[in-house]
Amino acid sequence: MDDLHQVNTIIATTICAFFKGHPDAQIGTEEAKLLAKQIAQALEEAGLQIAAANPENAPR
């Protein structure tokens, strides 16, 4: 995806949503953002690309 910030935000939001249902294990927003950056970087290093499913609806 062209907008790495958007990718990180989507991943971080998903991480936070996952942990909301797990009161035994919590994660803060900043930790989720750091984890999201690491996940996106690992995907990129593995040669994977994240792209919008419908390029016509992708943000510009």
32-58 pLDDT per residue, tens: 999 999 999 999 999 998 887 876 665
Residue 10 lies in a domain: yes
Into how many domains does the chain fold? 1
- Could you tell me the residue range of the domain that residue 23 belongs to? 4-55
Question: Could you report the per-residue pLDDT of 3-20, keeping only the tens digit for each?
Answer: 888 999 999 999 999 999
Residue 34 lies in a domain: yes
Residue 60 lies in a domain: no
Residue 27 lies in a domain: yes
Q: Per-residue b/e over 1-29, b at no fewer than 16 CB within 10 Å?
A: eeeeeebbeebbeebbeebeeeeeeebee
d(CA 5, CA 12): 10
Residue 47 lies in a domain: yes
Name the pTM for this structure. Answer: 0.76
Residue among 50, 46, 42 nearest 4 (CA) = 50
DSSP element (H, E) containing 18: helix 4-20
